[in-house]
Amino acid sequence: MIILNWIDRVNLWVGRLVSYGIWIGAAVLVWEVVSRYVFGQPTIWAHGYTQRIFAAYFILIGAYTLLREGHVRVDILIANRTPRVRAMFDVLCFGMLLIWCLALAWEGWNFFQEALLWNEKDDSALAHPLWPVKLCMVVAAVLFSLQAASAFIRALVTALSPAPSQTQTQPEDRAQ
């Protein structure tokens, strides 16, 4: 469980760090609005940078959101079930999530390598390189994979652990 706690701490730290990206993105947007409407001098860079800041925020915060159980869940099937049954559903869900995250990390790595190799740029006036955004996608997919694996293992332990018997009697009950 030490490794699982380490994964949680890393994603907690990354999530808290990345959450400041909202303030940076908001500051860039405010600068653009002031520059455009107060000074009459719109920037050509603000739109592209805010897209990158918010894209990085959105994808990098996913593992933190999973850690904090902030993703949408449809609990119709598990609402009135025992913790063990809920854990069995979680094993299934986190197993599928883990497969998806690993595939995303694998393909993201290929996209990143190609963007770096071919010096891929976007079609904006500044021709920003695309490899930083694609690297963020790989990092996010790896962090999400680690958090999904952590949740999967915890759910598996809960699902496989013996359920406490509700029919057990206490020693003093048997004496009577």
Hey, which bits of the chain come out as E strands? none
Is residue 99, in this structure, part of any structural domain at all?
Answer: yes
Is residue 12, in this structure, part of any structural domain at all?
Answer: yes
Q: How far is CA 72 from CA 62, 66, 75, 157, in A?
A: 12, 10, 9, 23
Q: Report whether 139 contacts 105 (CB < 8 A).
A: no
Is residue 167, in this structure, part of any structural domain at all?
Answer: no
Is residue 169, in this structure, part of any structural domain at all?
Answer: no
Give the total number of structural domains in the chain.
1
Is residue 171, in this structure, part of any structural domain at all?
Answer: no
Q: Per residue of the chain (176 residues), give pLDDT as tens.
A: 899 999 999 999 999 999 999 999 999 999 999 999 999 999 989 988 998 999 999 999 999 999 998 888 877 878 888 888 899 999 999 999 999 999 999 999 999 999 999 999 988 888 889 999 999 999 999 999 999 999 999 999 999 987 654 444 444 443 44
Is residue 119, in this structure, part of any structural domain at all?
Answer: yes
Is residue 97, in this structure, part of any structural domain at all?
Answer: yes
pLDDT score for 136? 95
Query: In the 8-state DSSP scheme, what is residue 129?
Result: B
Is residue 175, in this structure, part of any structural domain at all?
Answer: no
Domain range for 135 is: 2-162
